Structure 1
Amino acid sequence: MLKSIIIDDEESARQSIKKILEIYLSDVIEVIDTADNLIEGIGLIRKHAPDVVFLDISMPHENGLELFNYFSTISFDVIFVTAHQHYAIDAVGLGASGYLLKPIKPKEIIDLVLKINIKQKSAKTYRSEDQWIYNNHKLLVNHQKGVHIIPYNKIIAIEADGNYCKIYRESDEPLYVSRTIGSIEENIPKKHFFRTHRSCIANLNYISEIDKEKNIIHLEGIKIPLASANFKNLIEELSRLTNTTS
């Protein structure tokens, strides 16, 4: 069963969502806690590790969209709740699983929750928790205008440049972020990413060739260095990953 948290400054909205879930989806999802402001809600998310968060956008003190500034990774689905249609674009752009317009209609919330339930059930059939995290979690990095949200499985490689990093992404331009490579390494799934060099991390799934003579790794049209001392461990990790996912 899915665990959910509701964050909304209006008690009537919290009760409305909770009542709809209890009446129509009691065998699919349960509300384990509620909050009337973002800061309290963030504490509840860290405490309960929910599967789904219903989040109001327009709240006093802090806008619900600020949620993404408090987490390095997002491991739960977010359903934004708003009375304003124009907020929906921002919500979807930030990676929300969907949004509900107030007043909330039962059919809309039912459809969204069932869709999320199917997605999460399917994802959890992967052989390991690490594989599930790799395919479903995302890396969050701040920038001047907001937050970049990058799925782990779209990251090809990460290259350090002082206190900045260059993140190579599948089918997209490289992204420069104000994060050290060490702080990013702490969050990414270890079984899929390998520190090839003090300045580089490679996604094992994108490696197409290893040039041992030149100590170079080829990944999807880019090249990164390989410390010779790491060659044996890299081969072992590639073999393990192949055996695990085959």
Structure 2
Amino acid sequence: MPSAQDSIQDPRAEGSKKRDLIARGDYTETPAGKATFFALRAIEPYLQYSILAHGLGTSLIHRIGLRTLPPGLPANTGIGLIDGLGLSPYRLVLFGMAVGAAVKQNVWVAALSGEPMPVSAAITVGAFNAVVNSVNTYAFLLTTTSASTESDFPQPALIIGSTLYAVGLATELISEVQRKRFKSDPKNKGKAYTGGLWQFARHINYGGYTLWRTGYAIAGGGYTLSAVVGAFFFWDFSQRAVPVLNEYCEKRYGSAWEKFKMDTPYNLIPYLY
């Protein structure tokens, strides 16, 4: 992993630096911040479990006249650890999505990211994940918004959502592992990684994140919620994250980055954008 000695001067304008959530080229170690991030992401699935299994917060929902789904029959997989959760099959999948996202992000912060993670940023990101995931979970519980509208299992929204979630999460993780391996080789110092999944889109990890967030929302709150969630992350990446990162890459990698842009015309999702 790069050390503070490997840090480079960020060549971007100050305005771009402020719009970016990551300090590009800075490899200052921040163990307290990363430990905070890891802890917050590790415990967040318990919040989703408390909502799904015990109805945390639903008493307030009932007070304003809204109804929630009954808990359903617990899953019977024959695996004690899973069956002991007492969740219906649909709720079990949603809980698994919360766990999978937390595991992926903790792998990223512990083993893949070299940039600093201040404690304040760790708390902000942790709170953001908790809020977005809880919106998905409560949308599932509400009878007016739930994607679980049919008695059969698995339901179409769950199948589509789970597929997008799995593809998106795998794309994000694999692409970041590929880039990490490339960057860890001293022979590649100062070079942009353009191989692996990155040859299909210049910011394929952002595309993967958008996909799994959209899939998670479909499985929880159906197609309306997924359209809102997907549009939000697509807008944020296309209008903020990609432009400021592109500026950094243009100024750091020069002609090599221009060639990459010509060879790989898509930003987030291959053949779409």
TM-score (norm 2): 0.23
User: Structure with the greater relative contact order (CA < 8 A, sep ≥ 6): 1 or 2?
Assistant: 2
More helix by share: 2
